[in-house]
Amino acid sequence: MNGRANERIAVVLFNLGGPDRPESVKPFLFNLFNDPAIISLPNPFRWVLAKLISSRRERTAQAIYAEIGGRSPLREITETQAEALQAALGELGDVGVFVAMRYWHPRAAEMVARVKAFAPDRIVLLPLYPQYSTTTTGSSLLEWHYEAAKAGLTVATSGICCYPVEPDFIAGHVDALSAMLREAGDGPVRVLFSAHGLPKKVIAGGDPYQWQVEETAAAVVRGLDREGLDWKVCYQSRVGPLEWIGPSTDDEIRRAGESGTSLVIVPIAFVSEHSETLVELDIEYRELARKSGVPGYFRVPALNASETYVSALAGLVRRSLAGPAGIASQDGVRRCPADHGQCPLQAVSGALR
């Protein structure tokens, strides 16, 4: 039984957000780098550094967004996902699905106000980050909790922290990758599961993101059931002087060129198209592959509002409603090994109870 009959249910989808016009790029970057989950310095030092970085990176970032029309498509895609999810949850009755972006509009404070006006009996917080990180889901959940407390929103709240091997999520990737492997043909081909990177110090501090990304990739490979598949997990989007987790996607592209191996790229941690897929993967890395001598370069689309991904989200909501208030993984138990001390089931769950 998924909750009580006649309940009003609010589902909040969390995503990164992105600038909606060229003038939004600098304040978007400031919001990103002023997040203590991204830069752990205390204020006023973090504020000053965020101002400096956003000013220095504004022109470069504007050039990136100019490649895709001067704006991020993330809000529109997320709203499409929200509409599809609301339709998929129709049997639950009065369900409202809301979109809260972390670094650009609509922000958590605005969505808290809208959810409060909706007057739900239950709230489900659902990140569009399948693999948990303190820098993504953790940051979004903490901001929501802060804004909800400030607004006096005290409704019973459940949350999904991660769903790295949720069956329908994996099935969506299997279907999309299978189609692209057929398009790639019969020659030597390697699958690169590319995820956004993180500084090594974040992972060393107990963040489970890398472990969960690798769990997702391995589950997709098992689902393919393709003997002898050549595949590897790699990481993109490095920024700044810190040492980042690897191997890097660009290094793996060069390595494929050296061996004359075609590539199929899977954005394994990105469920929606945005600058990292449409520019970094489709334009910058495609050109790197050409220059490196990669004979074929194929990119699997993000899941967006595909039937399998929406089904995965709907299943997560139903499971969350069937359980008590608080945060849980896709199957209600801690998934991360004990050495991942930033597992949200011990680091964040208390904020939601």
Q: Does the annotation flag 145 for ligand binding? A: no
332 conformational bin, left if phi > 0, alpha if psi -120 to 50, beta if neither: left
- In three-state secondary structure terms, 115 is helix
Q: Are 274 and 73 in contact (CB under 8 A)?
A: yes
Instruction: Tell me, rounded to whole angstroms, the distance of Cα 120 from its chain centroid.
Output: 26
Q: Give the span between the Cα atoms of 102 and 22, in whole angstroms.
A: 18
Q: Give the span between the Cα atoms of 79 and 97, in whole angstroms.
A: 9
H helices within the chain, ranges in order?
25-33, 45-66, 74-88, 108-118, 139-151, 167-184, 200-204, 209-224, 249-259, 275, 285-292, 307-322, 344-347
Angle between helices 307-322 and 74-88 (to 10 degrees): 60
Q: Does the annotation flag 143 for ligand binding? A: no
Cα Rg of the chain, angstroms: 20
> Where is the binding site for Fe(2+), in residues?
196, 276
> Where is the binding site, in residues?
196, 276
